[in-house]
C-alpha cells in the first residue's frame, strides 16, 4: 500500500494543475472535501451544518509560518471576527490558532501578545480557543504561551503523538490541569525527535491516551483510527471523563456522525480562508493525510 501511495503522491504533486494554477477539479475533488471555503460565511455555514447533525466545529483560519507583521495583524483581525460570528450565531464552535500564524517566527513576545488578545476577547464571548501544534521547534514556545492563559480556562493545547517528547510534555500539562487535544501529528521530522513508523506512532498515541484518561478530566481524542477510538470508548466506560472525539472535516464524516448519534461529543476540524491552495498542497505532501483523503474518496 505504501508504494502505491508514494506513486500516486508523485503523480498528484507533479501534475500541472498543482504547479500552474490549481484548477476547479482539484478544488472540488480534494480541497472541497475538507475546507469550508474562502470566507468567514463559508466557515459559519459549515459550523451550522455540523451543529444540526449534533456535532461541534473547531474552526481554523488558515495560515502559518508568517514572517510579516501585516500578515499576522490580518489573521488576528479575522479571528476576532470569527469569535463575534460564533457568538452571534450561538454556534457550538471553538477556534484554533497556529503559533506561527500569531507571529512566533517574528518573536515569542509578539506571538504571546497576539494570543493573549484573542483569548481575552474569546473569553468575553464564551468561545473556546485551541492552540494548534506545528513543527517540533515551536513546541516549547507554544506550551509556554498556552500555559500563560491555561489557569483562567477556556483554552486548550494540541500535542502530537509522533514526537518523542510528548509523553514528558503531557505529564507536565496534566499537572497543570491543561485541556489537551491529542493528535498523531503530520509534520516531517527526523527519527531523532519523532517516531516515523506508523505502528510506533499508534502505540505512542495509545500510551498517551491512557495517561490522559488516568490523569485528566477533560480532553479531546483527535484521530480517524477506529481502533484507537474504540479503545477510548472502552476506557471511558470506566473513567467517565469529558471526552470529545475530533476528526478532520470531510474525511470520515459518516463515522463521526454515527459516534455523535450514539451520544458522544464529536467535533470536526474546519479550515477556511483564501490560503486553501498552499494548505491543500502541504496536506497532500504528507503521506498520512493523502492516504486519509484517498480513503474518504473511496468511502472508507
Determine the pLDDT at residue 188: 82
CB contact set of 81 (below 8 Å; sequence gap of 6+): 40
Determine the pLDDT at residue 9: 40
Q: Does domain 2-297 have CATH number 1.10.3720.10?
A: no
Q: Which residue has the higher pLDDT, 121 or 299?
A: 121
Per-residue model confidence as pLDDT tens digits over 212-271 = 999 999 999 999 999 999 999 999 999 999 999 999 998 899 999 999 999 999 999 999
Determine the pLDDT at residue 167: 98
Over residues 196-205, the mean pLDDT reads 96
Determine the pLDDT at residue 30: 56
- Give the domain ranges of the chain: 2-297
Determine the pLDDT at residue 28: 53
Determine the pLDDT at residue 275: 81
DSSP one-letter string for 213-224: HHH-SEEEEE--
Is residue 288 over pLDDT 60? Answer: no
Per-residue model confidence as pLDDT tens digits over 25-36 = 555 555 667 899
Determine the pLDDT at residue 12: 38
Over residues 47-71, the mean pLDDT reads 97
The DSSP letter of residue 129 is E
d(CA 165, CA 136): 9
Over residues 62-84, the mean pLDDT reads 97
Determine the pLDDT at residue 24: 55
pTM metric for this prediction: 0.88
Please report, rounded to a whole number, the percentage of residues in the chain having pLDDT higher than 90.
Answer: 78
| Reported confidence tier of residue 141, pLDDT bands at 50, 70, 90 | very high
Mean pLDDT of the chain: 88
Out of 105, 112, 181, 252, the active site residue is: 181
Minimum mean pLDDT range among 3-17, 67-81, 84-98? 3-17
| Reported confidence tier of residue 10, pLDDT bands at 50, 70, 90 | very low
- Say whether 197 is catalytic: no
**Cell 508504494 maps to which residue?**
3
Q: Which residue has the higher pLDDT, 300 or 139?
A: 139
- Say whether 28 is catalytic: no
| Reported confidence tier of residue 201, pLDDT bands at 50, 70, 90 | very high
Determine the pLDDT at residue 1: 45
Q: Which residues of 156-177 are buried (b: 16+ CB within 10 A; e: fewer)?
A: bbbbbbbbeebeebbeebbeee
d(CA 51, CA 210): 29
Compute CA 149 distance to the chain's CA centroid, rounded to the nearest angstrom. Answer: 19
Determine the pLDDT at residue 14: 38
Out of 112, 132, 252, 283, the active site residue is: 132
d(CA 182, CA 194): 15
**Other Cβ atoms within 10 Å of 261 Cβ, number:** 12
* 47 neighbors 261 (Cβ within 8 angstroms): no
Give the up-direction half-sphere exposure of residue 204: CA atoms within 13 A in the CB hemisphere: 23
Is residue 18 over pLDDT 50? Answer: no
DSSP one-letter string for the chain: -HHHHHHHHHHHHTSHHHHS---HHHIIIIIHHH---SSHHHHHHHHHHHHHTT-EEEEEE------SHHHHHHHHHHHHHHHHHHHHHT-SEEEEE-TTTTTTTT-HHHHHHHHHHHHHHHHHHT--EEE----GGGHHHHHHHHHHHHTTSSEEEEEETTBTTHHHHHHHHHHTT--EEEE---S---TTTB--SHHHHHHHHHHHHHHHHHH-SEEEEE---HHHHHHHHHHHHHH--EEEEEEETTTSHHHHHHHHHTT-EEEEEEEESTTHHHHHHHHHHSHHHHHHHHHHHTT-
Amino acid at each position: 500500500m505504501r508504494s502505491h501511495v508514494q506513486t500516486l503522491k508523485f503523480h498528484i504533486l507533479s501534475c500541472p494543475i498543482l504547479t500552474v494554477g490549481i484548477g476547479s477539479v482539484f478544488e472540488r475533488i480534494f480541497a472541497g472535501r475538507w475546507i469550508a471555503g474562502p470566507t468567514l460565511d463559508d466557515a459559519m455555514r459549515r459550523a451550522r451544518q455540523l451543529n444540526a447533525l449534533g456535532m461541534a466545529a473547531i474552526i481554523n483560519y488558515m495560515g502559518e509560518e508568517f514572517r510579516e507583521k501585516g500578515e499576522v495583524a490580518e489573521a488576528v483581525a479575522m479571528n476576532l471576527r470569527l469569535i463575534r460570528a460564533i457568538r452571534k450565531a450561538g454556534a457550538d464552535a471553538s477556534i484554533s490558532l497556529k503559533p506561527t500564524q500569531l507571529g512566533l517566527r517574528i518573536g515569542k513576545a509578539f506571538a504571546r501578545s497576539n494570543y493573549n488578545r484573542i483569548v481575552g476577547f474569546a473569553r468575553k464571548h464564551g468561545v473556546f480557543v485551541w492552540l494548534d501544534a506545528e513543527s517540533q521547534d515551536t513546541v516549547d514556545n507554544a506550551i509556554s504561551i498556552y500555559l500563560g492563559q491555561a489557569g483562567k480556562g477556556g483554552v486548550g493545547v494540541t500535542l502530537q503523538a509522533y514526537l518523542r517528547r510528548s509523553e514528558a510534555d503531557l505529564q507536565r500539562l496534566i499537572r497543570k490541569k491543561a485541556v489537551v487535544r491529542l493528535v498523531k501529528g503530520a509534520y516531517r521530522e527526523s527519527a531523532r525527535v519523532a517516531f516515523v513508523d506508523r505502528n510506533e506512532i499508534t502505540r505512542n498515541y495509545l500510551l498517551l491516551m491512557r495517561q490522559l484518561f488516568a490523569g485528566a478530566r477533560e480532553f479531546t481524542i483527535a484521530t480517524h483510527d477506529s481502533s484507537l477510538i474504540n479503545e477510548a470508548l472502552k476506557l471511558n466506560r470506566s473513567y467517565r471523563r469529558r471526552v470529545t472525539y475530533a476528526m478532520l472535516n470531510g474525511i470520515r464524516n459518516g463515522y463521526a456522525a454515527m459516534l455523535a448519534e450514539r451520544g458522544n461529543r464529536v467535533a470536526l476540524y474546519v479550515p477556511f480562508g483564501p490560503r486553501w491552495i498552499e494548505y491543500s498542497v502541504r496536506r497532500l505532501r504528507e503521506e498520512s493525510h493523502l492516504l486519509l483523503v484517498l480513503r474518504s474518496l473511496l468511502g472508507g
